[in-house]
Amino acid sequence: MTGKLGIRSPQYNGSLGLAWTSEDDDTVIRLSGPLGLTVASIERAPGGISLTTPDTGTVFITEPELGEYLGYSMPLRHLSRWVRGVPEAGIPFRRHEDGFSQAGWRVVYAAQVGQDPARIRFRREDTTLTLVIRRWTY
């Protein structure tokens, strides 16, 4: 999928381009800034998370540490299911008219194109992530 990620948090406000690939349990998210330059590459596999930035190179981190590096929390563990409109299996959730709440996050599906979500908001405490999906590739 490709799109744009809007971020509002106490440490960071802005937007980034997003390119996401996922296969089985492996996820790669590339975040890009102005002119399409990659500012971060996040890879999640069963063995853990790696973050690559121009400043730090590649570091292997936990999900809470990812938030420290980026300046905002990201529910990386759950995103591959949530972007498809499905709560994570085995974790309690509560349905809402426009989405659901799970793992401390409120997930709101603000727009759809056909069967696919086109705008999703993820909220937790003082962080809001807005994902605008431009293209799904299957």
The structure's pTM equals: 0.90
pLDDT in tens, 88-118: 999 999 999 999 999 999 999 999 888 889 9
Both tokens of 117, joined, read: 């979500």
Comparing C-alpha atoms, which of 1, 4, 3 is closest to residue 16? 4
Task: Specify the 3-state DSSP secondary structure of 13.
Answer: strand
Lowest pLDDT segment from 15-19, 78-82, 127-131: 78-82
Among 15-19, 34-38, 57-61, name the one with the lowest average pLDDT: 34-38
Backbone angles phi, psi at 67, to 5 degrees: -60, -35
Report the C-alpha gap between 126 and 123 in whole angstroms.
8
Domains of the chain: 2-135 (2.50.20.10)
